[in-house]
Amino acid sequence: MKQLVLSALMLLSIEGFTQKSSDEAISRIEDLVKEYALQNDIPTINVGVVLLGKTHFINYGIDNRSTKNQTSENSIFQIASVGKVLTGIVLNQLIQQGELDIDEPFLTYLPQYHSKKVNSKLKTISVRDLLHHRSGFPRQSKIINRKNDEPIIYDYKATDFEKDFEKMKLEKAGAFSYSNFGYAVLGYIAEMVSGSSFEELLAGLSKKYGMVTTSTYCKNTSLLVTPYDEDNRSAETKIWELGKLSPPSGLYSSVSDLTQLLNNQLATYKDNDLDDILFLTKDTRSAWEGTGISYGYGLFDWGNGEFGHGGAMDGFGSEYWFNPKENVGFVLLTSSGGKWVIELSKAINGILSDMN
């Protein structure tokens, strides 16, 4: 009996210490968020942290410098390249359902109106090449005349893909070369294979994982955060309008939604459930030779037990990171990006890593 009492007291002591450590970690992250916001004049930084099986939200700042409404975990941002995680899940579901063969030439799944030039140039590029950023496609569309880092305001249509296929030259074919355009093509392929719009496919995922704000459009404009130019943080910039280029970098979501997804993805990776559509790194190829970093279906495997993706759209910045072995992770969304996003993310990573 005495031994049982001692064991119970020890367990309570450990649990108390763990809870105290968790509270201290969240407090440190809160202080860091405030520090980075003030130092860099950032209007808002929203963070969702998964730690010891619990979710914590840290919301700092305002939705707009004029209205000055406090943001919440339900505030909506464009999530930049974190959208590739969602696009990867959509594609993985089609692969799991047997509707898509990743080793087939991607042109197989598109309307057959390509010119001889396009067929000759692109016939050997597989769906897998697109997923792993090894298609040779350039980073961005070539038919959009974009100056510097200005927002893209262009209702890209299905017929525009053919124009781009005709115009663009392949770069570093076979080697890792990050391409937003390649992932936009994957979104178009998903539509052709499924017979549904990308929005409908995304809505199915959102319903499955309890995500209420995630979409190809802003579901509630009253929750939409205003983006500010990262080089002039007093200047409002514009929401990007991308049409069929939206899947890789123009999707909308919130910290609440993405943290909900992260919780589900953490569970999938902890169980090593390779057949779950959230497991995006069963099939990877090296991203940068010699680094140990590889890329799967919209998700980096950092080679150290950690997984994630980040993104930047000038006005918006995003980070999505998790470590299944330690059961920790975080999501960060901001209304004015820059190098500070990576610095803050590394600092948060360090705090969570110190917990274990």
Beta-carbon contacts of residue 153 (< 8 Å; ≥ 6 apart): 238, 240, 241
CATH number, domain 29-354: 3.40.710.10
Q: Give pLDDT, residue 12.
A: 34
For position 148, what pLDDT does the model report?
75
Q: Tens-of-pLDDT digits for all 356 residues of the chain?
A: 545 434 443 333 334 437 668 899 999 999 999 999 999 999 999 999 999 889 999 999 999 999 999 999 999 999 999 999 999 999 999 999 999 999 999 999 998 877 888 999 999 999 999 999 999 999 999 999 887 778 999 999 999 999 999 999 998 878 999 999 999 999 999 999 999 999 999 999 999 999 999 999 999 999 999 999 999 999 999 999 999 999 999 999 999 999 999 999 999 999 999 999 999 999 999 999 899 999 999 999 999 999 999 999 989 999 999 999 999 999 999 999 999 999 999 999 999 987 76
| Selection from 89, 302, 316 nearest residue 186 by Cα | 89
Both structure tokens of 335? 């209304």
CB 216 within 8 A of CB 252: yes
pLDDT at 114: 79
Q: What is the pLDDT of residue 97?
A: 97
Q: For residues 61 and 142, give the distance between their C-alpha atoms in angstroms, rounded to a whole number.
A: 37
Cα–Cα dist 118/187, whole Å: 19
pLDDT in tens, 81-98: 999 999 999 999 999 999
CA pair distance 80, 299, nearest whole angstrom = 14
Helix (H) or strand (E) holding 333: strand 328-334
Token pair 């792993």 is at which residue? 132
The full DSSP string for 262-310 is HHHHHHHHHTT-TTSTT---SS-EESSTTS--EE-SS-EE-SSS-EEEE
- Beta carbons of 11 and 19 less than 8 angstroms apart: no
Question: Do 274 and 206 touch, CB atoms closer than 8 A?
Answer: no
State the pLDDT at residue 19: 66
328: phi then psi, degrees, rounded to nearest 5: -135, 160
79: Cα separation from own chain's centroid: 7
Cβ proximity of 151 and 237 under 8 Å: yes
pLDDT (tens digit, 9 = 90+) per residue, 130-157? 999 999 999 999 999 887 778 999 999 9
State the DSSP code for 315. Answer: S
C-alpha 228/C-alpha 296 separation (Å) is 32
The pLDDT value recorded for residue 3 is 54
Gap between the Cα atoms of 18 and 207, Å rounded: 34
Residues 6+ apart with CB under 8 A from 180: 81, 139, 140, 245, 248, 249
